[in-house]
Structure 1
């Protein structure tokens, strides 16, 4: 036996209302207990086929290459950039939040010339700015936007951006980590070329997978690269040979995480059973109720009005209220996790997630009640039950 101490794993049951992960349905947890199979097992291939079909349903696409990368959403971002950019390529990338900045960082590492679309954190990128950037160079290879900016709570419109990308012959890459399965997202109808997400947010699967979909137009650019894709693990041309049969066979690429695939399969099945449109409407309804409750308490929402996420709300912290103490008390006294601000919003905002299995009326009312009590202890006064009353009224509409 080792001389150092270690614990038995018994994590507490939290109410996860932060920027992710969200709570996991018991059926998803149960699925992870299924027997582990080899990643080349015939039955495992049937699970993979189901996952691809279910992801096509959620992405609203017929793209053949639609599958989960065996890594978190950051790997989806990396895959979308390293496959379609190489040294000297021009990329137009939004710069209006923490994860938009990460895109810029990664694209620059791969030698791309990045044209930044600057906007204040909390505001969308306007179509006029997108078109001006696309027109500024003879050839732009890639336009990249964050659909749901997790750091600010902003929902970026995409349909007009997709039209502009087609007009100027640029590929459109979209980050949908906080929107897939919770907000309207129509890959084929809108004309999005590459889109990735994460398993742990609106899909309500444990973290560790990054669903991605890529159309044929984007895939057809890969043989024309001047350099090999710099990541073996994320090379889509190699991954496609594992996920898509060629002459009735698949090629080994890496050892797939079987238990995570079972979990994703069950999480996607739950979405199909609820109905994608019904699920989206649930998120919209609950997001509106949370917004109404927070504003009734006199709290300001950071994101631009008319472009606020339902799945993730960024609320400004009142003056003289201790950010960390409120979050710690929510966790210790009410078992509720919320997120603090990222980057420019660190210490200035809270991030409240209502995603997937965590998006319930009960969670909204419990959170608003707890927040009201804790804010009162900090000296921030509001009308008793104002937040709950406003939220209930919104839910009854």
Structure 2
């Protein structure tokens, strides 16, 4: 006889999550969480070791031996705070943060709360980070020891020019921290070629797992220098790494075992899809269908296409009396959940193109939006 839990598992998703994460996951990823696991079990710890190795190979490719992966409980922001709070020395360090959206601002807030010397380098939210401005900041202030950026700033969906920024940071020989929360696994990159020292992402983004932990792929010689830096016990990235290195990938404190099993399955499915290049191609196709369909329906994308990521797209409100709440509610009834705007300069909403969704789903979404927006027009 099937249990109540089995019946719930077999129920179809009530809607597609078109957000930058959490996102729509496959049935098989969900099913991986249907057993209970012990955190001390050797088999489980071997699984964690395998996940760490696979993450490093995805990120560093030919130079995998020079990198390590550290898994950290909590949301992606926990891993950002752990990285900033551990990478920065307690004395003598200064952090420059390039900011063109809410998540860059969050890094500034983290540094302020931790008492870290920080120089925000701010840009308009609707513009990419300018590498020349970063260059000038490093030239003008020799006290800067670390630079941090957000690769894909999901406030707008902008994809910042990582290659060009990395070249600037390399020339000045400072530590490079990249929040790749919403891009890693969905946008091709080689962190060794880029000279990234700490790359941060999360289980519930482009790898298509579920929420519960973040991870940091770090250069081994960079994390090895961080002993005693941390401003927090539980968010001490060095100690988490040291424990995992010494104890067959055991976590210091209780790990999210079910989420880890789901992430293992998600990594397998990424490989089966054809790796990051194939996933980026699907996401890009999703984003193209959304953008072209929305423009045909009377909406305008916030960003020019050359700055747009394949992760999430911001659209302007089509009129002064447009109600996102009503629009959102109508779409949810039809099986789609969008994301409200986060931009401070003008009203927008956002549509994600990542997760277990494909261009046919986007075409259905556009068809529904055209119908709903047409009826809104008539009512208004």
Q: Is the shorter-chain TM-score for this pair beyond 0.5, marking a shared fold? A: yes
CA distance in 2, matches of 1:380, 1:17: 26
3-state SS of paired residue (1:303): coil
3-state SS of paired residue (2:246): coil
CA distance in 2, matches of 1:119, 1:260: 36
3-state SS of paired residue (1:58): helix
| Matched-pair contact (CA < 8 Å) for 1:341–1:349 | yes
3-state SS of paired residue (1:379): helix
Q: Greater shift after overlay, 303-312 or 9-18? A: 9-18
| Matched-pair contact (CA < 8 Å) for 1:100–1:146 | yes
Q: Tell me the equivalent position of 1:265.
A: 264
Matches within 5 A, 1:212-227: 212-223=216-227
5+ long unaligned stretches in structure 2 = 1-7
CA distance in 1, matches of 2:157, 2:218: 26
Task: Pick the aligned partner of 1:65 from 64, 68, 85.
Answer: 68
Q: Tell me the equivalent position of 2:164.
A: 160
5+ long unaligned stretches in structure 1 = 1-7, 382-397
Matches within 5 A, 1:1-397: 13-37=14-38, 39-61=39-61, 62=64, 63-85=66-88, 86=90, 89-223=93-227, 228-245=229-246, 253-276=252-275, 277-319=277-319, 320-332=321-333, 334-344=334-344, 348-358=347-357, 360-379=358-377
CA distance in 2, matches of 1:54, 1:202: 15
Q: Greater shift after overlay, 214-223 or 172-181? A: 214-223
Q: Tell me the equivalent position of 2:4.
A: none
RMSD: 2.3
Task: Give the C-alpha shift of residue 158 in structure 1.
Answer: 1.0
CA distance in 2, matches of 1:64, 1:44: 22
Task: Give the C-alpha shift of residue 217 in structure 1.
Answer: 3.6
CA distance in 2, matches of 1:305, 1:252: 42
CA distance in 2, matches of 1:263, 1:355: 17
3-state SS of paired residue (1:66): strand
Runs in 1 of length 4+ with deviation above 3 angstroms? Answer: 8-12, 249-252
Task: Give the C-alpha shift of residue 297 in structure 1.
Answer: 2.7
Q: Greater shift after overlay, 368-377 or 86-95? A: 86-95
CA distance in 1, matches of 2:219, 2:17: 34
Task: Give the C-alpha shift of residue 28 in structure 1.
Answer: 0.8
CA distance in 2, matches of 1:158, 1:311: 15
Task: Give the C-alpha shift of residue 378 in structure 1.
Answer: 1.9
3-state SS of paired residue (1:344): coil
Count of aligned pairs? 365
CA distance in 1, matches of 2:270, 2:163: 24
3-state SS of paired residue (2:53): helix
TM-score for the superposition, normalised by structure 1: 0.86
| Matched-pair contact (CA < 8 Å) for 1:125–1:156 | yes
| Matched-pair contact (CA < 8 Å) for 2:19–2:354 | no
Q: Which has the higher helix share?
A: 2
Task: Give the C-alpha shift of residue 271 in structure 1.
Answer: 0.5
| Matched-pair contact (CA < 8 Å) for 2:224–2:238 | no
CA distance in 2, matches of 1:236, 1:357: 31
Task: Give the C-alpha shift of residue 371 in structure 1.
Answer: 1.1
Task: Give the C-alpha shift of residue 281 in structure 1.
Answer: 1.5
